[in-house]
């Protein structure tokens, strides 16, 4: 007959907050090294110094794990940025993109093909990164309307979030260099602001 001790469920140790913060970093490092298709829970667990079972308790699928890691490196939120001008807000976002260009470029390279072939991953990344990215940048535009900088939300604003992200993906491929603040500043002053102010 089983004893009470034998029948009692095994208590698994809880994941510490510090360890949970290490998992996204480990995931992004592994993703950059191997690409999405070759990414394994075993590799991430080894890098994060935790068990594979721990990962599966927190994230049931590889796509879920990757989307959580992508979310951890997500866009600047409107509440964190309010310079008082649309140009200032966009320059602040541009500076963040430039700071994270090395990591982001590897991330996009690792995900680009997988997003086209894996519907679960595509949905997860869109939810974690691209949709919030769009909402946040559009909020900067709406604040400019509220301040009177713009008379309305220009049609050109619809292309702004995708265009800013696409620069991080395309510049390394086109000319072998990463985004930098000067390049993004010229992009905002010479292309973005004229398009927003004159539509």
pLDDT at 182: 93
Domain 76-197 has CATH 1.10.357.10: yes
Whether 78 shows a pLDDT value over 70: the answer reads no
CATH number of 4-70: 1.10.10.60
Q: What tens digit of pLDDT does each residue of 113-168 get?
A: 888 889 988 888 888 878 888 888 899 999 999 999 999 999 999 999 888 888 87
Domains 4-70 and 76-197 share a fold: no
The 3 state secondary structure assigned to the chain is CCCHHHHCCCCCCCCCHHHHHHHHHHHHHHHHHHCCCCCCHHHHHHHHCCCHHHHHHHCCCHHHHHHHHHHHCCCCCHHHCCCCCHHHHHHHHHHHHHHCHHHHHHHHHHHHHHHHHCHHHHHHHHHHHHHHHHHHHHHHHHHHHHHCCCCCCCHHHHHHHHHHHHHHHHHHHHHCCCCCHHHHHHHHHHHHHHHHHCC
Q: What does the domain layout of the chain look like in residue ranges?
A: 4-70, 76-197
């Amino acid at each position: 007959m089983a004893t009470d001790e034998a029948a009692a469920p095994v208590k698994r140790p809880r994941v510490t907050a510090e360890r949970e913060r290490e998992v996204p970093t480990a995931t992004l490092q592994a993703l950059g090294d191997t690409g999405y298709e070759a990414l394994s829970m075993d590799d991430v667990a080894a890098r994060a110094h935790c068990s594979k079972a721990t990962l599966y308790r927190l994230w049931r699928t590889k796509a879920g794990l990757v989307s959580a890691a992508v979310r951890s490196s997500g866009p600047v939120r409107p509440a964190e940025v309010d310079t008082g001008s649309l140009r200032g807000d966009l320059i602040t976002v541009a500076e963040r993109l430039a700071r994270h260009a090395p990591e982001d470029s590897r991330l996009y390279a690792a995900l680009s093909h997988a997003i086209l072939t894996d519907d679960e991953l595509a949905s997860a990344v869109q939810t974690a990164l691209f949709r919030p990215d769009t909402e946040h940048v559009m909020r900067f535009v709406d604040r400019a309307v509220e301040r009177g900088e713009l008379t309305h939300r220009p049609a050109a604003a619809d292309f702004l979030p995708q265009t800013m992200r696409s620069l991080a993906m395309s510049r390394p491929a086109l000319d072998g260099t990463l985004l930098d603040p000067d390049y993004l500043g010229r992009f905002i002053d010479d292309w973005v602001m004229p398009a927003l102010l004159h539509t």
